[in-house]
Structure 1
Amino acid sequence: MIILLVVLPILGCGSGNDKYSLSGSNIHPDVKTFQVNAFQNNAEIVEPGIERRFTQRLQELVQNQTNLSLNNTGGDLVYEGEITKFKVTPMTATANQRAAQNRLTVTVNVRFTNTKNEKDNFEKPFSFYYDYDANKMLTGETLNTALDEIFERITQDIFNATLAKW
Structure 2
Amino acid sequence: MKTLKYIVLIITALTFVGCKMQYGLTQPTTTKAKTFQVNYFQNNAPLIEPGLERDFTNSLTDLVLNQTSLALVRSGGDIIYEGEITEYRISPTTATADNTAAQNRLTISVNVRFYDKTDEDAELEQRFSFFYDYAGNAQLVGSQKDTAITEIFDRLTQDILNATLAKW
TM range (shorter): 0.7 to 0.9
Q: What residue in structure 2 maps to residue 70 of structure 1?
A: 72
> What is the Cα deviation at residue 27 of structure 1?
3.3
1:67 to 1:3, Cα distance in 2 relative to 1, 3 A: farther
Unaligned runs of 5+ in 1: 12-19
Q: 1:10 to 1:99 in 2, by over 3 A?
A: closer
1:105-130 deviation line (CA, Å, top 9, x unaligned): 10000000001001111111000000
Aligned to 2:100: 98
Matches within 5 A, 1:80-99: 80-99=82-101
Question: 1:135 aligns to what SS in structure 2?
Answer: coil
- Which string of whole-angstrom CA distances, capped at 9 and with x for unpartnered residues, describes residues 31-57 of structure 1? 100000010000000000011000000
Which residue, out of 127, 130, 140, partners 1:128? 130
Point out the structure with max Rg over C-alpha.
Answer: 2
Are the structure 2 counterparts of residues 5 and 135 from structure 1 closer, same or farther at C-alpha, using a change threshold of 3 Å?
A: closer
- How far does the alpha carbon of each residue in 1:97-153 deviate from its partner, in whole angstroms, 9 at most, with x for none? 110110011000000000100111111100000001121111111111110111011
So what's the TM-score if we normalise by structure 1? 0.88
- What residue identity is the alignment partner of 1:29? T
Letter in 2 for 1:62: V
Work out whether 1:117 is the aligned partner of 2:128: no
Corresponding residue number in structure 1 for 2:17: 7
Equivalent runs, 1:29-48 vs 2, <5 Å: 29-48=31-50
Q: TM-score, normalization: structure 2?
A: 0.87
Q: State the match for 2:6 in structure 1.
A: none
The alpha carbon displacement at 1:25 in A equals 3.2
More helix by share: 2
In structure 2, which of residues 11, 21, 24 is the aligned counterpart of residue 22 of structure 1? Answer: 24
Matched residue pairs, number? 158
Kept in 2: contact 1:51–1:83 (CA 8 A): yes
Q: CA RMSD in A?
A: 1.9
